Amino acid sequence: MLSQSEFDALPKVRMGRRELLAGLAAGTVFPFAATGCTAENPALGRRQLMLVSDDQIAQLSDQTWQAARQRERVSNDPALRRQADRVGSRIANASGMSQHAWEFVVFDSDEVNAWVLPNGKVGLYRGLMETTRNDDQLATVIGHEAGHVAGRHAQERASQQMAAGMATGLAAVALDQADVQNAGAWAGVLGAGLTFGVLLPYSRRHELEADRLGVDYMARANYRPSESVIFWQSMMDQSQRGAPPAFLSTHPSDQERMNALNSHIRSRGYA
């Protein structure tokens, strides 16, 4: 991993921000790859740019989680809490990511939303849980979030932001001081921005990868992958009837998602 001084010494890429991000995501921008800052992700079957370490991300994730629990009201509904733990533990076990201390907390809000931090902390809003019709559909949500963790999407996005020069100052402060005051800003990079009103969405590629991995975890946990199609379709229907649910605000909700999901389910032979 690069220190800030090493990062500053890297050769500058002369292209627009949009083109640089697209090039990084596609693996076509080579000055950073040449430094050895890419890593193979077996879950995705591709290499990723990694300029931040797992330890750095874990520390910032822990602080963000504590800040979220202080800012949000945690639900006392025993049925919702049992459901979150029941479904979440099965998905976590199926994912094989036992290195994380998984935690599933229900926030008492009508918001239809959920998010995950790279350390396995999952925030589920009452509004979203009440929207799901059964454990299988909740497994769709938690499986998708676990897919982001396995995909190391937060680390990759943070690295892309740093490499593009969009978050160099923020990274220097956060990585040097790692104080709670920076947790709100880092939450956007980590994918939990809705909690703090600072949202930097995952890319379409990340969302489709999380869908695919989530379906695999559902199947391993003996949930019905077919329910994932029903869930996402219901989210899309809500979006078409008015303002999109918060859970869809950063997600591809078009036919591409449904086509990719159905194709993966058929290719795996899931019922």
- Residue 163 falls inside a structural domain: no
- Residue 166 falls inside a structural domain: no
Instruction: Please tell me the total count of domains within the chain.
Output: 1
| Look-up of token digits 């430094």 | 35
At 19-77, the pLDDT tens digits run 433 443 444 443 444 456 889 999 999 999 888 888 888 888 998 999 999 999 999 99
> Between residues 5 and 235, which one has the greater pLDDT?
235
CB 62 within 8 A of CB 179: no
Closest CA to 176 of 5, 23, 50, 54: 5
Helices 255-268 + 204-220 axis angle, to 10 = 30
Catalytic pick among 6, 19, 145, 256: 145
- Residue 178 falls inside a structural domain: no
- Residue 25 falls inside a structural domain: no
- Residue 242 falls inside a structural domain: yes
Q: Tell me whether residue 40 is one of the annotated catalytic residues.
A: no
At 197-242, the pLDDT tens digits run 222 346 788 899 999 999 999 999 999 999 999 999 999 888 877 7
CB 41 within 8 A of CB 48: yes
Closest CA to 189 of 73, 92, 56: 56
- Residue 92 falls inside a structural domain: yes
Domain residue limits at 223: 57-150+203-268
The DSSP bridge pattern shows strands 46-49 and 38-41 to be antiparallel
- Residue 142 falls inside a structural domain: yes
- Residue 40 falls inside a structural domain: no
Bridge partners for 47 per DSSP = 40
